Amino acid sequence: MNLRLALSLTLILASTLCQAQPPTLNLYTFESPPYQVASQGKGGANRISGETADTVICAANRAGWSTRIRITPQNRAIHSLERNMIDGYFAIDPSAELDTIATRSDPVALEKWYFFTRGDQLSTDNLRIGVVDGSNEEAWLEANNYSIFLSVTSASQLLALLKRERIDAALMDERVMNGLRLENGEPDMVLERHFVRYAPLYLYLSESFASSYPEFLGTFNRTLNSCMAGHLALSDEEERRIRSLSESLISEVSSALDIPQIIASAPRQESFTDVMTQDSMWQALAPFASTQLADRILDLAGSRTLYGWKMAQGGLVTEAMIMNNMGTLAAISQLTTDYWQGDEAKFQKVLDATRQGLKGMEALYISPIRYDASTSRFQVTVSAPVSPISDGVPLGVLMLGLDAEDALRDLERP
């Protein structure tokens, strides 16, 4: 009897443990250091790691799934996705073809693409462009009517062809090229680089998986920004460009609006408890509906002027807001997801700076690049204190959201 009971308990425990194991998401990708890299794991099995692979694994885990990732050629991956033989494929450019047979996530990576040349070869007639066969870059070139001179099987071949002047230009991600030059002992080889685009890359889920697990993608998307943290930091050169641009824009909007007056005339809560109550109501309805307080703020003259100024920037400015010294909104260019901004870096970092005695542009905070789901664009936020500053606390904070590609588009063009 005791033996039978012990066996029953063992079976129940084993069953419970099996049920506790998260389901497995079967994914394909391609090798592209430092984003997706195959290495030998325990027992000789291939392990896929790298920035983008780690982001996908992190977001899938937070959605309750483990992952099994394999490296495979693009044509095979797309074939398998079309026939629901895998759950998904990453990290790829948006595709009109795939959009008809699969479901696309928010971006899982942001690459910076350049034409690399030995000299100023972009001015050459009949430019001989090299690209990796089946790559995102090749698909983009074809979609934009570029003539491809040579397609090769690996990025390292492109570097060798450039060195031997068999091609005039190679299109690839900046960090991929930097890694190749170090790996192949060519760090001092002089290459000109010509910025082409910021390329957001995505996870595509098969129709079968998306229909069977409709809740997965929402959770996956919501966790992507935190899983990508640190991967989208601005370079020193990019930060200098953003700082210079921000100073100009903040000066312009400060001249167009009487910001202290806007803060003084805006609704203000009497206590932090009132702030939290209004914020909870605001978040419960946004972004699809607005509270009475949100409607009141949107209808203020300051908000309408802020909206008009933002629209006049031609897409460069994605949003604009003015906060009071409590971190609540005094004016907004459009409906936001939160009323209270006081717990966010765009407010806290400025407050930290003013408490250290910094003023004006000295206290400017520039965020890393992040994906904004409400605008479907990568953006950088910049925020600066509104004077006067009393006991280290500014009257308020002005924040601008900048479209990352628009803001940095001309940074490295010759």
Per-residue model confidence as pLDDT tens digits over 14-68: 554 445 678 999 999 988 888 998 887 666 567 899 999 999 999 999 999 999 9
Q: Is the predicted pLDDT of residue 3 greater than 60, yes or no? A: no
Counting Cα atoms < 13 Å in the Cβ hemisphere of 193 gives 17
Residue 6: pLDDT band (50, 70, 90) is low
- Tell me how crowded residue 171 is: count the other CB atoms within 10 A of its CB: 25
pLDDT at 65: 97
Q: Is the predicted pLDDT of residue 12 greater than 90, yes or no? A: no
- Distance, in Å, from the CA atom of 272 to the CA atom of 342, rounded to the nearest integer, reads 11
Q: Is the predicted pLDDT of residue 256 greater than 50, yes or no? A: yes
Helix/strand/coil (H/E/C) assignment for every residue in 100-161? CCEEEEEEEEEEEEEEEECCCHHHCCCCCEEEECCCHHHHHHHHCCCCEEEEECCHHHHHHH
Q: Which helix (H) or strand (E) holds 261?
A: helix 259-265
- Distance, in Å, from the CA atom of 317 to the CA atom of 252, rounded to the nearest integer, reads 13
Share of the chain above pLDDT 70, in %: 90
User: Best-predicted range by mean pLDDT among 96-100, 175-179, 333-337?
Assistant: 333-337
Q: Which residue carries 């109550």 as its tokens?
A: 277
- Distance, in Å, from the CA atom of 179 to the CA atom of 173, rounded to the nearest integer, reads 10
Q: Which helix (H) or strand (E) holds 91?
A: strand 88-92
What does the radius of gyration of the chain's CA atoms come to, in whole angstroms?
Answer: 25
Average pLDDT value for residue range 80-108: 93
Q: Is the predicted pLDDT of residue 237 greater than 90, yes or no? A: no
Q: Is the predicted pLDDT of residue 141 greater than 90, yes or no? A: yes
Q: Is the predicted pLDDT of residue 2 greater than 60, yes or no? A: no
Q: Is the predicted pLDDT of residue 183 greater than 90, yes or no? A: no
Average pLDDT value for residue range 331-346: 95
Per the rule left: phi > 0, alpha: psi between -120 and 50, beta: everything else, 165 is left
pLDDT at 181: 86
Decide if 408 contacts 198 (C-beta within 8 A).
yes
Q: Is the predicted pLDDT of residue 414 greater than 60, yes or no? A: no
What angle, 0 to 180 degrees and rounded to 10, lies between the N-to-C axes of helices 174-183 and 155-163? 70
What angle, 0 to 180 degrees and rounded to 10, lies between the N-to-C axes of helices 51-62 and 216-227? 130
Q: Is the predicted pLDDT of residue 269 greater than 90, yes or no? A: yes
Q: Is the predicted pLDDT of residue 413 greater than 50, yes or no? A: no
Q: Is the predicted pLDDT of residue 340 greater than 90, yes or no? A: yes
Average pLDDT value for residue range 345-374: 92
- Distance, in Å, from the CA atom of 383 to the CA atom of 329, rounded to the nearest integer, reads 14
pLDDT at 41: 65
DSSP state of 30: -
